[in-house]
Amino acid sequence: MKLRSSEASASNSSQNIIESKEKLKAFLKKKGFKSTRQRDIIVTEFLKSREHVTAEELYNRINKKYKEIGFTTVYRTLKLLAESGLAAEQIFADNLMRYEPLSEEEHHDHLICVHCGSITEFENPKMERLQKNIANEFGFYIVNHKMEFYGYCRRCRGSARTLS
């Protein structure tokens, strides 16, 4: 099993960011939208973050440096990223829509702490094979899936005992 932290994902080089931005430009052109400086700033910040962010979190981060970019522009850009396949929309236990950068070649699942809200990404080839085997057993063809485990992270496990 391989854990994926923000640091591990930071290997998302500037080349990957450039390729993702080119894919988005082609998507926008196909949809009849223009590439704008504001969208470019939002997309760059989002892809660099490699985190699960809400529109508000990303807006707050961007707004510190770029006051002219409004919340609605950030929100709509995240929606376009999701529609283009460059971001995933996910709702975890906090019931907030979070966006996560996607890559065609990587898949991962999530461990979500119900106490502090931390999200740990992991990859497990055995689990992926098991899911395929289960699907085959039932004659089911999987096109996509997401797996989320809810519990207590290492930091909060001690707190969990006192919460019960």
Residues 21-47 pLDDT 10s: 999 999 999 999 988 999 999 999 999
pLDDT for 83: 92
Last residue of a domain, one of 59, 78, 101: 101
Are 10 and 90 contained in the same domain?
yes
Are 96 and 141 contained in the same domain?
no
Confirm if 70 and 25 have CB atoms less than 8 A apart: no
Instruction: Indicate if the pLDDT at residue 107 is higher than 90.
Output: no
Per-residue confidence at 11, pLDDT binned at 50, 70, 90? very low
pLDDT for 3: 58
Q: What is the pTM of this model?
A: 0.68
Instruction: Indicate if the pLDDT at residue 86 is higher than 50.
Output: yes
Last residue of a domain, one of 80, 101, 122: 101
Q: For residue 149, what are the contacts with CB-CB under 8 A and spacing of at least 6? A: 109, 110, 111, 112
Are 66 and 143 contained in the same domain?
no
- What is the number of structural domains in the chain? 2
Are 123 and 53 contained in the same domain?
no
Helix 37-49, helix 55-63: angle, nearest 10: 110
